[in-house]
A and B are shown apart, each in its own frame.
Chain A
Amino acid sequence: MQKEEKQLELALDALIQRVQDLKNSLVAFLSKLENEYQTMSWPSVLDNFALLSGQLNSLGKLLKSEKVPILRNQILLPLALSPDRDQELEKLTERRVFAFNHEVVPDYLRTKPEPDVEKKIQESSVRATINTPDVAQKQLNAMNKVTSNILDIINSHRDDMESDANQKSSLAQTSSMSDTNALIAVTMFGKGLKSLRRDSSQSQPIIQQQTQQPKTQVSTGKAPSAVKTNIKAAAAVTVNKQEFAGTFTSDFEPGTISSHDNILTLNKESSPAAMSDTLNKANN
């Protein structure tokens, strides 16, 4: 008997201690809210909540632990009510409760929820029992369906937003690797410049060649040797014809064309690449 009493006493002390802690942190939090609401940041509010919930948790654990006797079995009996001011009580409650009278006792010593609340609990428990497991399962499925749908919608929205963001960054693209490469190739090796000139001068020289052909053939005695090199060169180049056809023709500046008429006219049938190659050879 005495042992039980002692246990109860210990448990109560522990309870009081926990509740005191809880109250202290509540007070601290409230005062913070009141005085520092301007500077307080949301994370620090969350910290306070976490502290409170931790303390509540430990309080709950304490109540469930085996060391604590089942408090439900204990009876609290108000022996006397008095409308007079009770100094002791005032001190204990930090001047919150002045007297142990009829007004406060029902509130403080209540063991049941308020009737309204009780009624609501009853209602919901009744509603819970109405559903058969089948219906519950159905509702559960429906619920799952809905949530998964919502999840899908959210996901697709997220994807949309991400792709939007990507698109935005591609809109704001300010440099392109291919342009860089093209620009460097043109400054370093003249790529692209040579093919351009071909477009503008390609058709003309051919016409010129045809009209000039007889004249030049007569006038130059050296022509045959040029033919030889041309054949050789053409043979050497044919493999790469497609590749080079575009790039080589730049050597056809008006000046060079006229000075090398003899060679060009003879090359009439061969590819531009071969022509330019002979041209180079002739120059060398």
Chain B
Amino acid sequence: MMGVVCVYAYNIPEGKSGQQVVDSLQKQMDIIGATKTGNFCVDCETYQSHPQNAQQRSIHILHNSEQPATCFSVLDSGTVLVSDMLFDLIMNTMTQAKSGREGFFQQRKGFKIESRGQRYELADFVIKIGSVSLMANFKGVLIEVEYCPSQVPGDCWNLMKEILQSIVGNTADTPPSYIKTKMDSLYTPADTINQYLEHFNAFRKTATPGQQNR
């Protein structure tokens, strides 16, 4: 089980590299007394229907190291299927070319994106500082803050806001747009995945910021 998670993109100030931002954030974690508890990774891969299929769909397959045995499959219609890792294999059989023909789905080239970094714990908070890379190109920094004991975003938003503002600043004045619609419902791991996916999709659309800043 998990608590409520808010994911924010960190605005990288002009003239700073991604690594510098991550370093300073990590230093900040030490200052507020959080303890390092290893690494984390959220990755996303996108597939597309075969053009001859009846329905044209994109499927995003995401994994979150917080739920290491789970595979999240998100359709562009918003349906999120939560399943165990073996769904990767099923997806694989669906993409697999059989006897010279294409499969029902194809992997979209150049869409592999992931957020990787350090994981910190502070009392019942879990804070993750991840640098996002699209096909090994640095794209930006994502901050994830989780408050584990609660499951209702509406209950603990104000409480989370205090700690979020101390890390990401004014960006955290309002809840993440995805959370806004879910304030009063029970939070699930799929909601985290949707937040990440929103950010990933946004990152894919932008030009690589690292090239401007480096």
B residues 17-76 touching A (CB-CB < 8 Å):
52, 54
- Main SS at interface, chain B: loop
Rounded to whole angstroms, the CA-CA distance of A130 and B29 in the bound complex is 134
Give, as a whole number of angstroms, the nearest-CB distance from A10 to chain B.
97
CB neighbours of A284 from chain B (8 A): 52, 54
The residue on B at minimum CB distance from A283 is B54
Tell me the A256-284 residues at the B interface (CB within 8 Å).
283-284
Report the minimal beta-carbon distance from B53 to chain A, rounded to whole angstroms: 8
B53 to A, closest residue via Cβ: A284
Q: How large is the interface on B (under 10, 10 to 19, 20 to 34, 35 or more residues)?
A: under 10
Q: How many residues of A contact B (CB 8 A)?
A: 2
CA of A272 to CA of B52, assembled, Å: 26
Contacts of B52 in A (CB 8 A): 284
Output the least CB separation between B50 and chain A (Å): 11
| Nearest CB on B from A44, distance (A) | 69
Within 8 A of B (CB), among A112-142: none
Which residue of B has the minimal Cβ distance to A280?
B54
CB distance from B56 to the nearest CB of A (A): 13
- How many Å from the CB of A260 to the closest CB on chain B? 13
Q: Which residues of A are found within 8 Å of B54, using beta-carbon distances?
A: 283-284
CA distance A34 to B138 in the complex (A): 106
State how many angstroms separate the Cβ of B142 from the closest Cβ of chain A.
40
Q: Give A196 Cβ to nearest chain B Cβ, in Å.
A: 27
Task: Give B52 Cβ to nearest chain A Cβ, in Å.
Answer: 8
Bound Cα distance A266, B52 (Å): 25
CA distance in complex: A283, B53 (Å):
10
Q: Which residues on B sit within 8 Å (CB–CB) of A283?
A: 54
Q: Roughly how many angstroms separate A283 CA and B52 CA in the complex, as a whole number?
A: 12
Query: Could you tell me the distance in whole angstroms from the C-beta of A188 to the nearest C-beta in chain B?
Result: 17
**Which single residue of chain A is at the shortest CB-CB distance from B52?**
A284
Q: Min CB distance, A113 to chain B, in Å?
A: 99
A38 CA / B52 CA spacing, docked (Å)? 89
Minimum CB–CB distance from B149 to chain A (whole Å) comes to: 44
Against B, the Cβ 8 Å flags (1 = close, 0 = not) of A223-267 are 000000000000000000000000000000000000000000000
**From residue B148, how far is it (CB to closest CB) to chain A in Å?**
43
| CA distance in complex: A284, B56 (Å) | 11
Q: Which single residue of chain B is at the shortest CB-CB distance from A282?
A: B54
B179 to chain A, nearest CB (A): 36
- In the assembly, what is the distance between CA of A283 and CA of B54, in Å? 7
CA distance A186 to B156 in the complex (A): 53
Q: How far is the CA of A284 from the CA of B49 in the complex (A)?
A: 13
What is the bound-complex CA distance between A262 and B54, given in angstroms? 19
Chain A nearest Cβ from B186, distance in angstroms: 31
Complexed CA–CA distance, A102 and B52 (Å): 127
Q: Please, how many angstroms separate the alpha-carbon atoms of A284 and B50 in the complex? A: 12
- Bound Cα distance A284, B52 (Å): 8
CA distance A284 to B104 in the complex (A): 13
Q: When chains A and B are docked, how far (Å) is the Cα of A263 from the Cα of B107?
A: 35
Whole-angstrom distance from the CB of A40 to the nearest CB of chain B?
70
Binary B-proximity of A82-112 (CB < 8 A = 1, otherwise 0): 0000000000000000000000000000000
User: Can you report 3 A-B residue pairs in the complex whose CB atoms are below 8 A from each other?
Assistant: A283-B54, A284-B52, A284-B54
B positions within 8 Å CB-CB of A: 52, 54
Interface residues of A (CB under 8 A from B): 283-284
Q: Which 3 A-B pairs give the minimum distances between C-beta atoms?
A: A284-B54, A283-B54, A284-B52
